[in-house]
């Protein structure tokens, strides 16, 4: 395993971190049912092979991820890693709530302290909640009493909001951003990565493979990878593009199979900074352009939009259209969609827009629900329905 600087800390983090949002489950329709036997093997394999950063959060796997992490880090594994979890800002209603949530998390995690504690999913709106409830003053007390060792935040908004949050306090040790070769200008982007690093913050990367979407490319993208001077899997290309950048501290992967773990650990063991050639970087640029050309909806399947008010599976509907377009199998998507019940189809959306407030990608979900039904249910041409992203 290769290790990298973690901001200003006198500690080095493994190039690969284990994200516990997409653990294997025993029921594909129930995220709370973690396949504990397989997931335990995966996490402990990663730790045994040098991974020393484990990331979870209050809502992952419908609240069960933290409990699982607490169990998997028994038998001496807690001492081998630094543990990160997150405060769900959207759940806070009073200044007393952060204290109650942290104590609940410590109990679930079976630990007296969290190494890295993040304010979860900040953007301008949630930052206003942080300020209103004086969350930073509470966090400073938790840092002082040792239940939190380092404070940071995860982020989904634009660069201006990112800079404002970074500059608001000296309490930050690190931040976590969505970043990959597709999202160089989205959200914090490359500009945010470099700004955070310039302030001495460690930068943790989430969604390096866009929820797995860029690990299984359509034929036009795979043809570009096949033309590259060095042969790598698409996932390895994505990870190595990140590890090539000195501002990146650790790359989180939400691994859901043992194969993901073994391949990513192997890639991390060979990771280097500033080693990709100009020719290799040019191939990545070509792949980015091709994906942007092919994919209509920028959904990462993070599931923050769920549960839906009327129980629609929003990520599934988005994936149905995206995959139909990207893989040139729109006919299959239409057949699949039309086998769904009326309650499952996008036309059941009531446009309450509650999901849009939660979406990290700022997707106009209610508008897309209309167009998904027009395309997959009524046969309307895709080109007539594309929305700006």
- C-alpha span between 89 and 248 (Å, rounded): 25
Q: What is the pLDDT of residues 34-55, one digit of tens each?
A: 999 999 999 999 999 999 999 9
Give 221's contacts (C-beta < 8 A, 6+ positions apart).
214, 234, 287, 290, 291, 294
Domain ranges of the chain: 3-293, 314-384
**In the predicted model, is pLDDT for residue 73 greater than 50?**
yes
- 15: pLDDT strictly greater than 90: yes
Report yes or no: 177 and 205 within 8 Å, Cβ to Cβ.
yes
For 3-293, give the CATH class: alpha beta
- pTM for the structure as a whole: 0.82
Q: Which helix (H) or strand (E) holds 278?
A: helix 278-294
Cis preceding linkage at 307, omega within 30:
yes
User: What per-residue confidence (pLDDT) applies to 24?
Assistant: 94
pLDDT mean over 125-140: 96
The DSSP bridge partners found for residue 116 are 84, 150
Reported confidence tier of residue 384, pLDDT bands at 50, 70, 90: low
CB proximity list for 288: less than 8 A, separation 6 or greater: 181, 182, 184
For residue 165, give every residue at least 6 positions away whose Cβ sits within 8 Å of its Cβ, in sequence order, or none.
Answer: 122, 127, 153, 155
**CA–CA separation, 142 vs 265, rounded Å?**
34
pLDDT at 389: 46
Q: What is the mean pLDDT of residues 81-97?
A: 96
């Amino acid at each position: 395993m290769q290790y990298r600087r973690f901001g200003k800390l006198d500690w080095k983090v493994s190039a690969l971190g284990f994200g516990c949002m997409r653990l294997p489950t025993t029921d594909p329709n129930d995220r709370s049912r973690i396949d504990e036997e397989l997931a335990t093997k995966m996490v402990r394999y990663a730790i045994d092979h040098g991974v020393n950063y484990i990331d979870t959060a209050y809502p992952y796997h419908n609240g069960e991820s933290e409990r699982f992490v607490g169990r998997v880090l028994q038998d001496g594994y807690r001492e081998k890693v630094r543990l990160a979890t997150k405060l769900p800002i959207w759940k806070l209603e009073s200044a007393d709530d952060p204290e109650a949530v942290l104590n609940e998390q410590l109990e679930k995690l079976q630990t007296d302290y969290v190494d890295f504690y993040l304010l979860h999913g900040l953007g301008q709106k949630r930052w206003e909640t942080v300020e209103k409830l004086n969350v930073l003053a509470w966090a400073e007390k938790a840092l002082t009493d040792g239940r939190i060792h380092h404070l940071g935040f995860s982020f989904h908004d634009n660069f201006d909001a990112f800079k404002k949050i970074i500059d608001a306090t000296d309490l930050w040790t690190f931040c976590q951003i969505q970043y990959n070769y597709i999202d160089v200008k989205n959200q914090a982007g490359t500009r945010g990565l470099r700004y955070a690093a310039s302030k001495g913050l460690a930068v943790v990367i989430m969604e390096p493979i866009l929820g797995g979407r860029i690990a299984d490319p359509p034929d036009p993208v795979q043809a570009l990878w096949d033309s590259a001077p060095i042969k790598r899997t698409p996932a390895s290309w994505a990870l190595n593009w990140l590890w090539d950048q000195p501002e990146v501290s650790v790359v989180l992967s939400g691994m859901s199979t043992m194969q993901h773990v073994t391949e990513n650990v192997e890639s991390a063991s060979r990771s280097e900074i500033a080693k990709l050639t100009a020719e290799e970087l040019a191939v990545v640029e070509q792949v980015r352009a091709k994906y942007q050309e092919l994919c209509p909806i920028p959904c990462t399947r993070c599931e923050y939009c769920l549960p839906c008010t009327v129980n629609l599976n929003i990520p599934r509907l988005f994936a149905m259209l995206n995959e139909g377009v990207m893989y040139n199998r729109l006919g299959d998507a239409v057949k699949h969609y039309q086998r769904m019940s009326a309650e499952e189809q996008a036309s059941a959306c009531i446009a309450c827009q509650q999901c849009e407030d939660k979406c990290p990608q700022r997707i106009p979900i209610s508008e897309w629900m209309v167009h998904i039904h027009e395309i997959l249910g009524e046969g309307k041409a895709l080109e007539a329905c594309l929305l700006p992203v």
